[in-house]
Amino acid sequence: MKSEEKRIREIQNGNKKLFAGIVKKYTGMVFKLIWDLTSNIEDTKDLTQETFSRAFININSFQFKSGFSTWLYKIAYNCTMDFLRKNARISTGLEENNFQSTGNSPDYDSERKTKSLNAALSTLPEKQKIAVVLHFYHQISLKEVGEILGCSHSTARVHLFRGLKKLRQELSNKDTQR
């Protein structure tokens, strides 16, 4: 039995003190995902805490059918989407790159491309945007993306590829408008 699986089973059997190790191990991962969805530091901190609270409360529902990180990502995703729907805003986490460029720096082209990509991402439907962000920014497999979104692997793949197709269209439209 893997040490993480053993730790989780011990938590499920009542040794709740071990949950602190889970929090320590996964805080960065959860924080990054939520930041990528909210672009707001206070919301990200609150939602990270809420994610771990929900995970702690529901730890006995984890059944080892998927990886623990996938289960935790799903909690973070659902927690964040609930919050964003209540507040009617969905972000990509790329909006607040505070570039200090004057237009003459070597990073100016990169800055412009990032802003164009961000604008294109903001046009995508929610599930397509989330599939793109999870897969490309967090290197999550399509199987896990499907689990997080609550759909099959093939549906997650469709969301991803439709999102990429729309991104290409948006970006090529921006290039032709220049």
| Predicted TM-score (pTM) of this structure | 0.74
Same domain, 69 and 114: no
Domain presence at residue 99? no
Of 28-32, 99-103, 153-157, 163-167, the range with the lowest mean pLDDT is 99-103
- Residue ending a domain, among 32, 63, 93, is 93
- Residue ending a domain, among 32, 66, 93, is 93
Kindly indicate the confidence band of residue 43, based on its pLDDT and cuts at 50, 70 and 90: very high
Q: Between 2 and 104, whose confidence is greater?
A: 2
What pLDDT, on a 0 to 100 scale, did the predictor assign at position 178? 59
CATH of the domain at 63: 1.10.1740.10
Same domain, 121 and 53: no
Q: Confirm if 23 and 50 have CB atoms less than 8 A apart.
A: no
| Domain region containing 23 | 1-93
Q: Cα–Cα distance between 20 and 6 in angstroms, integer?
A: 15
**83, 86, 89, 90 alpha-carbon torsion, rounded to 10°:** 40
Domain presence at residue 100? no
What pLDDT, on a 0 to 100 scale, did the predictor assign at position 89? 57
Q: Give 79-132 pLDDT, tens digit per residue.
A: 999 998 888 655 545 444 433 333 444 555 667 777 778 788 888 898 999 999
Q: Confirm if 166 and 124 have CB atoms less than 8 A apart.
A: yes
